[in-house]
Homo-oligomer: A and B are copies of this chain.
Amino acid sequence: MATECIVAKYRIETALELERVAEGIAGEQSSGTFLPVPGETEELKARARARVVAIRELESVAGPSLPGGRLGEAGRYRRAEVTLSFPMANLGTNLVTLMATVCGNLYELAEHTGCKLLDLELPDAFAARYPGPQFGIEGTRELAGVRGRPIIGTIVKPSVGLTPDQTAALVRMLGEAGIDFIKDDELMANPPHSPLAERVKAVLRVIDELADRTGKRVMYAFNISDEVEWMLRHHDLVVEAGGTCVMVSIHAVGLAGLLELRRRSRLPIHGHRNGWGMLTRHPLLGVEFGAWQKIWRLAGVDHLHVNGLKNKFWEPDDSVVRSIESCLAPLYAPPGPACPVMPVVSSGQWGGQAPETYRRTRTIDLLYVAGGGIMAHPGGPASGVRALREAWEAAVAGVPLEDYAREHGALRETLAKFGGLRERGGEA
């Protein structure tokens, strides 16, 4: 293991010499000492020091992206992609220390005015310790009973405030409409007005009834985000009541909590990434999703939110496409396990984005979540669900939505209602 390495690529910005700054980051995040100390031998340095593998210079700019950086003589701020290699032996397979190594103190260094983790390559050694997603795409499809198309989902709205019975009534309506998947809002876990134990009972009673009647068992992601003891208790409760999914806010729960849930879980874990904007929205601070998702896949989420094309949030389509691709790309180089997770596409989705989503990603392995596109369909929720399926049929067949809509009434009505919202920021 001592010869294996963790490779991390960063985008940095600095007014100082690029080589010096790259070496500074490598030192800070490995064996660096500012002064010689007893025990710091050449042998130790050769073994533990992170290496600068590559520096690719990019553009330069007149002003700094972040405050607090040292000034350089030229007054220009140079940007570069810097690739570092950390000896695996520095941390073993400790995933928490991996995060402290690749996303730790380096953001605080005054030597740069911008630092963002772009990509991460992990040795197979992690695969032995962390099992990755337990269900992933195949297991989720099996439990949801959906093949050959995206899983069509929706979210309980209003975000907070509904009682268990009100939630169950909504689930009944959506289940009768043919929905595959429903999720709690991330703001709604175990509040006084809807204790999780009661919500599980009320919702699964309805899902059982629907399954008896239609043969189709809706997958419901219960938001069990909480401290460990309660997450596990609530997970057990969902299992006992026959539920098929639990959901957590991954950033709020954190890595150790999620790992503990994964170790004990018997259900797919739906990973909600709220708070993610804070880690990625600035182009020169934080992390890109392609690197970040690897850590959470290792920790064992089965579904991961990625926004959607033409979403109502800030994120551009190119970034969303990269996120979808990263969830489906192998976690380790072959012959290591691939461990794909199901990308959860949501935010302003109504079906109109299906052709472009398919054209750019060539996948139907998506959990495609729509709110208004279903609830506000002129023909009611059943027509809304049908319209989304039709949009995906057209997308996969390569038939323009307008053409497909001629013989598909639900899609036709969706286009008439939402078709004007094509630009980014459509409220559907």
Contact = CB atoms under 8 A, between A and B. Distances in A.
Interface of A: 1-2, 29-35, 37-40, 44-45, 47-48, 66-70, 89-92, 94-97, 99-101, 103-110, 157-162, 166, 169-170, 173, 186-193, 225-229, 231, 249, 251-260, 263, 272, 274-279, 281-283, 285-287, 307, 312-316, 371-372, 375-376, 424-425, 427-428
A282 B45 CA distance: 34
Given A110-B424, A110-B425, 11 more contacts: A37-B170, A39-B169, A48-B158, A48-B161, A67-B314, A231-B256, A254-B254, A254-B255, A278-B286, A278-B287, A279-B279
Given A109-B313, A231-B256, A249 B189 contact: no
A155 B371 CA distance: 52
Contact of A256 (B45, B228, B278, B425): B228
Nearest to A156: B37
A97 B189 contact: yes
A64 to B, nearest CB: 10
A191 B89 contact: yes
Given A110-B425, A187-B97, A285-B282, A160 B275 contact: no
Contact of A173 (B38, B254, B260): B38
B97 A252 contact: yes
Nearest to A287: B278
B104 A170 contact: no
A47 B161 contact: yes
Contact of A107 (B40, B192, B260, B275): B275
